[in-house]
Amino acid sequence: MGTWVRRIGWSVVAQGASSIPNFGLYAVMASTLTPSNFGRFVALMAVYHLVLAVARSAIFETFVTDSVRSVGRARFTGRSSQAVALALGGSVAIAVVGVMVGSPRSSWLVMGAAMLPLLVQDGLRHLGWASGRVWFPVALDVLWTAVFATGLVVRSVQGESWMVTGVEAGRAESFVLGFWVAGGVAGAVVGSLLWALLNRLPPVSVDSPSKSVGEVDSSAVRLMGRSQAIQSTAFNLLPLVIAVAVSPAAASAIKAVLLPFTPILTTVAGTRLVTLPAMRRAVAEGRLAIDRLTVSVVGVGAGFAVVGGLGIVAVLTWLPLGAPGSALEYSRTVVWWGLAITTMSVVNKFLADALALGRRNVPVIWMRLAALSIEWAVLVAVVSTRPGANVAVVWAVGLALGSLVWVAPTVVGRPGPPTKAASLQIAGRLGLD
C-alpha cells in the first residue's frame, strides 16, 4: 500500500507542479486581455501545446513505458533528434499562425525561439519519471513557477495596469509571456546540467512490469496510447481551428470555458499513472474484472470532478474574479457548463482507456475519430453560422453527443454491482488495500 500511495501522491504533485505555470499564464492573460486579444494568444499557444502533445505521445511517454531501455544515453540521443525536428517545425508553425491571427510580433518570436528548450524541459521531466527519480520533474516545474512568479511580482511593483488594450496589450502580453518562457528555459538548462550529474550516480531502480502485464502491453497499450494521442492532439488543435476558421473571440471562449477547471483535469491526468497499470492487470483476469474496475474508476473520477467542480463554481460565483470585458469574466458566466464539460471529459477518458485495454474487439481508433467528429461538427457548424451562440452550451451539447460513442459499448453487457470480495480485489489493484 505504501508504494502505491507514494506513487499516487507523487503523480498528483508532479502534475500539479507542471500545471501551475501554465494555469497561471492563462489566468493572467484571461484576466487582463480582451476576448479578441486573448483569443489570438490562445491560438498562438495552441501551436505549442499541439507540438508538445505530439512530442509526448511519440517520444517522451515512451521513456516511461520503456523505462529500462529509455534512460540510456544512446536511446535519449536518438529521441532528441526527433524532438529537434518537431521543435523546428513548431517554430515555423507559430510564426505562420501568429501572422494569420494578428498576434504581437514579439510574442510569436519569443515562442518560436523557445520551442526547443521548452521541449527539452518536458523531455527531462519524463526521463525523471522513467529513471525512478520522481522528485526531478517536480523540481524543474517549481523552478519554472518561481521564475514566472518573479515576473508577475516585477510587473506589480512597477505599478503597471493589468487590464490593457491596444498597443499596451501587446507589450503586457510579451512581458508576461517572456517571463513564462524564461522559466521553461531555466528548467531546460538547469535540468540538463543536473541530469548529466545524476547519470554519474548509481541508477535508481525502476518498476519492471510482470510477465502477465507485459503480455497485455503489446497491442492493447499501443492502441490506448494512439487513442489518447488523437484526443490530446484534437483538444489542443480545437482553439487554433476556431481562431482561424471563425474568430479569435470564439477561440477565447473555448479556452475560457475550461480554464477554471484546469486543476481538476490535471489531477485526473496524474492519476492515470495509477489507474492504467491497475486496468492492465485486470484485463489479464478477464472481461468481468476490467468491467468492474472500470465502473469503480469512472465513479470515483466523476465524483472527484463534480465535487471539485462545485468548489470552483462557488469560488467564481462569490469572488469578483476577472476584469469587466475580460475572458475570465466569460468563464464566470458559463461556469456550470464548464463543470458539465469537465465531468464528461473525465468520464470519457477512463472509458476510452478501459475499452482500449479491455480488448473488446471494438475499433477504438475509429470510435475516437467518430466521437471527435461529432463534437467538432456540432461546435464548428453552430458557432460559424450563429456568431451570437453561447460557445459553452454548444460545446457541451456536441461533447454529450460524442460521449455516446464511449458510453454505449460500455453499458451493454455491464456487470452488476461488485461483491465484497470483488471490491477488495479492486482496492488491491489500486494499491489501497
**Selected residue with higher pLDDT from 57 and 296:** 296
Average pLDDT across the chain, whole number: 79
The 10 Å CB-count burial string (b at 16+, else e) for 47-85 is bbbbbbbbbbbebbbbbbeebeebbeeeebeebeeebee
What is the separation of C-alpha 119 from the centre of its chain, rounded to a whole number of angstroms?
A: 15
412 versus 318: the higher-pLDDT residue is 318
CB-neighbour burial class of residue 406 (10 A; exposed 0-12, middle 13-18, buried 19+): buried
- Give 319-338 pLDDT, tens digit per residue: 777 666 777 788 888 999 99
All three cell numbers of 208, joined, read 519492471
- 3-class DSSP state of 199: coil
Question: Are 224 and 290 a contacting pair, CB within 8 Å?
Answer: no
Of all residues in the chain, the percent with pLDDT exceeding 70 is 76
Alpha carbons 223 and 203: distance in angstroms, whole number: 31
Q: What is the pLDDT of residues 65-123, one digit of tens each?
A: 554 444 444 455 556 777 888 899 999 999 999 999 888 899 999 999 999 999 999 88
Tens of pLDDT, residue by residue over 250-290, are 888 898 898 889 888 888 877 776 677 677 777 777 777 77
- State the first-to-last Cα distance of the chain, in angstroms, to the nearest integer: 6
Q: Look at residue 204 and give its three-state secondary structure.
A: coil
In this predicted structure, the answer to whether residue 208 has a pLDDT above a threshold of 50 is no
Which residue has cell 514566472?
148
Select the more confidently predicted residue: 305 or 2.
Answer: 305
Question: Residue 213 above 50 pLDDT?
Answer: no
Q: Residue 136 CA to chain centroid, in angstroms?
A: 19
Identify the three-state secondary structure at position 132. coil
Per residue in 167-206, pLDDT (tens digit) is 466 677 888 899 999 999 999 999 999 988 887 765 554 4
